[in-house]
Amino acid sequence: MSTVSTTARPAGSPSRRRRATWPGRGGHLFVAAYVVLLIAFGVVPTVYAVYFAFTDAGDNFAGVANFVAAAGDFRYLSAIGHVALYLVCWLVSLVVLVVGLALVLHRVRSAGVSRVLRFLYYIPGALAGAASVMVWLFVLDPTVSPVSFLMRALGFSTFGEVVAPGHLPVLFTLIAFWTGAGGWIVVMYGALNNISPDLLEAARIDGAGAWRTAWHIQIPLLRKWIVYMMILAFAGGTQLFVEPQLLSQASVGVAGRDYSLNQLSYDFAFQNNNVNTAAAISVELLLIGLVVAGVFVARSGFFDAD
Amino acid sequence: MPTDTRTPAATTTSAGSARSSSGRPRRGRRRPNPLSALVLVLFLVFFVLPVVWLLLAATKTDDQLVHGNPLSFGSWQALADNWTALTSFQDNAIFLWLRNSAVYSFIALVITLCVAIPAGYALAMNQFRGRRTLLVATLVVMLMPNATLVVPLFLEVNAVHLIGSMWSIILPYSFYPFGVYLTYIYFSTSLPRDLVAAAELDGCSQFGVFRHIALPLATPVVALVGFFSFVANWTNYFLPYVLLPESDQFPVQVGLGNLLNAVPQFNPTVGTAAVQRPELALATLLAITPVLLVFLFSQRFLVAGMLAGATKE
């Protein structure tokens, strides 16, 4: 069929001839509105941030002075360590559990049960932002928590003991997974639905069990979605802000206001009125995100139009 | 052609059912084993228990919250009292915040859909100059830390005298690269090339292909993009917090922050305008209800059979 379409393409009609002189015309029309928004609310602010990172308060070129100032801050290295540790916990749990749950859910025979479960798993997603942190402020407090028996069994009896600094990466992972996983499970489930039943049937006839089908057929076909999830989760993870900020507010400083890089950046911008150093930290975060995304993209053929 | 593809499918199905003892060969799935069921139930508890707790907390007095069973029901009277106390906070402010959230989120949602779906479609199906640049730029902007973008956005919006205007919120919300990527991935993995080639052969214009072939097949991804964009807008806190100076313009998220600051247990400096924790739980419930309703409404589109059988018709 495809050979027919390429050879029989009518060359005579005027519209065809015009398109031949400007092959991307249709594509450009389709993306025009998006490009306007991208420039106004993506590119311009980004360029602005880079400009801030390399200038001083008097708009003079400052070289890397802002980056040096940030790196010289006593909170800088520990903030990097905190964020890195959190990212490892967050990414591993997200990929393993979301893909695993979507696969298990996809094998549930009853459409009704599967739909109800997806809805219930998703519900915390509606509590993103301030709401989720508020809920967890209660859940992590043994005096009012619905799982206080669990925390007492683990030896914690006060909120201060639960939010001890060493526990924070795990706690932030819990909060982020609780709010974020449901949405990704919905996405992965939809992607799994897109895999042809004939293909799975064929694998079954060849003797593949659930594990082999998942490992050799379903997960490879989910690759683009998994890569996409990793990139966004990594970017989101480096931006850790709301959780430590509100937790520090409620725990009277057990979790510091300088736990994550973004908190440090926020402090520079809005407490010290030092937008330039704040921008330097943000540009560093951007660069880290780009390098990691570049590795993922290069290794997965993410941009191939097939 | 159609019979050719159907015949082998039929034979494989019958072969499958002959081998499987459980019958029901249609979807090729077996009865879930107890381990799977246990995993699903454990995660159900993890995801739902805090929400159930939140629902119940709204029916209690603050004293019951601390001393009663965490999973007990308070009383309807306490719920009514909490409702009265919450709505009287700053003279019905909670309803104003909810209305603001709805206006910002829905206008931005409409713009997002009109912009993101065609863009993602063109990126997936067309080769045009700047395509790769656009994909990379979109990804870069998605990775940009929020805290970096908010201050430059503030300066940019200020330069065009839109600070305090609802458009200073709606337009940045409308820019939704995540939706463009979802659409891009969907079309590049799920739209059959044969179908597009056949339509072009029949003389369909590029816009015609999009309008008559791609869009009807794109219902699941439109629902997905619309849904995620709505939720992202509804739950955004930082941007309106910086760009909207007036309390009567706040969306409900920033309003929740205001309420949080008025709770003595979180902010010991609160004076007479104190808010109790159960009222805060009630306000949180009100804030999340619209998102849950939209999810219920769009869910049947999110996971439908998608493109099954599209090329066979």
Same domain? For B172 and B283 the reply is yes
Same domain? For B256 and B148 the reply is yes
| CA–CA min distance A67, chain B (Å) | 15
Is residue B293 one of the residues assigned to a domain? yes
Which residues in chain B touch residue A29, judged by CB atoms under 8 angstroms apart?
A: 207
Same domain? For B248 and B119 the reply is yes
Same domain? For B166 and B277 the reply is yes
CATH of the domain at B183: 1.10.3720.10
Q: Report phi then psi at A61, rounded to 5.
A: -65, 130
Q: Is the ipTM above a cut-off of 0.90?
A: no
Tell me if chain B has a CB within 8 Å of the CB of A183: yes
Write out B188-209 in H/E/C secondary structure.
HHHCCHHHHHHHHHCCCCHHHH
B181 and A228: CB-CB below 8 Å?
Answer: yes
For residue B1, what pLDDT is reported?
Answer: 32
Which residues in chain A touch residue B121, judged by CB atoms under 8 angstroms apart?
A: 30
| CA–CA min distance A166, chain B (Å) | 22
- List, as ranges, residues 96-135 from B with C-beta within 8 Å of A: 114-116, 118-119, 121-132, 134-135
**Distance of CA A117 to CAs A110, A113, B52, Å?**
11, 6, 15
Is residue B103 one of the residues assigned to a domain? yes
Structure tokens belonging to residue B252: 């409900």
Tell me if chain B has a CB within 8 Å of the CB of A17: no
Is residue B19 one of the residues assigned to a domain? no
A31 and B299: CB-CB below 8 Å?
Answer: no
**What is the number of domains present in chain B?**
2
User: What gap in Å lies between CA A119 and CA A178, rounded to an integer?
Assistant: 13
Count of C-beta atoms within a 10 Å radius of residue A30: 24
Closest-CA residue of A relative to B29 is A107
Is residue B69 one of the residues assigned to a domain? no
Which residues in chain A touch residue B25, judged by CB atoms under 8 angstroms apart?
A: 201
Closest-CA residue of A relative to B187 is A305
Report the pLDDT averaged over residues A163-189: 87
Question: B141: domain range?
Answer: 93-307
Same domain? For B49 and B101 the reply is no
Write out A265-298 in H/E/C secondary structure.
HHHHHHHCCCHHHHHHHHHHHHHHHHHHHHHHHH
A224 and B185: CB-CB below 8 Å?
Answer: yes
Same domain? For B166 and B57 the reply is no
The amino acid at residue B149 is L
Which residues in chain B touch residue A238, judged by CB atoms under 8 angstroms apart?
A: 145
| Among the partner residues B126, B156, B180, nearest to A45 by beta-carbon distance | B156
Give A74-300's CATH code, choosing from 1.10.3720.10, 3.40.50.720, 3.10.420.10, 2.30.30.30: 1.10.3720.10
Are A194 and B306 in contact by the 8 Å Cβ rule? The answer is: yes
Tell me the pLDDT of chain A averaged across its residues.
80
Is residue B187 one of the residues assigned to a domain? yes
Report the pLDDT averaged over residues A246-255: 67
| A198-237: pLDDT as tens digits | 888 888 888 777 788 888 888 888 888 888 888 888 878 8
Is residue B179 one of the residues assigned to a domain? yes
User: What gap in Å lies between CA A123 and CA A121, rounded to an integer?
Assistant: 6
Per-position pLDDT tens, chain B of length 313: 333 333 333 333 333 333 333 444 444 445 557 888 899 999 999 999 999 998 898 898 888 888 888 788 888 998 999 898 888 888 888 999 999 999 999 999 999 999 999 999 999 888 888 889 999 888 878 776 665 677 778 777 877 888 888 899 999 999 999 899 889 988 888 787 888 888 888 887 878 888 888 888 888 788 888 888 898 888 887 788 778 878 788 998 888 877 877 777 766 676 666 788 888 889 988 888 888 888 777 766 654 433 332 332 2
Tell me if chain A has a CB within 8 Å of the CB of B169: no
A61 forms bridges with which residues in the sheet? A55
Same domain? For B179 and B277 the reply is yes
Same domain? For B282 and B161 the reply is yes
Compare A17 and B243 and report the one with higher pLDDT. Answer: B243
For residue B313, what pLDDT is reported?
Answer: 25
Is residue B215 one of the residues assigned to a domain? yes
Same domain? For B113 and B55 the reply is no
Tell me if chain B has a CB within 8 Å of the CB of A300: no
Tell me if chain A has a CB within 8 Å of the CB of B14: no
A55 forms bridges with which residues in the sheet? A61
Same domain? For B250 and B289 the reply is yes
- List, as ranges, residues 200-219 from B with C-beta within 8 Å of A: 200-201, 203, 205-207, 210
Tell me if chain B has a CB within 8 Å of the CB of A294: no
Is residue B226 one of the residues assigned to a domain? yes
Same domain? For B151 and B49 the reply is no
Q: Which of B34, B257, B218 is nearest to B121 (CA)?
A: B218
| CA–CA min distance B227, chain A (Å) | 10
Report the pLDDT averaged over residues A117-122: 87
Cβ-Cβ pairs closer than 8 A, A with B, add up to: 330
Burial class (CB in 10 A: 0-12, 13-18, 19+), B168: buried
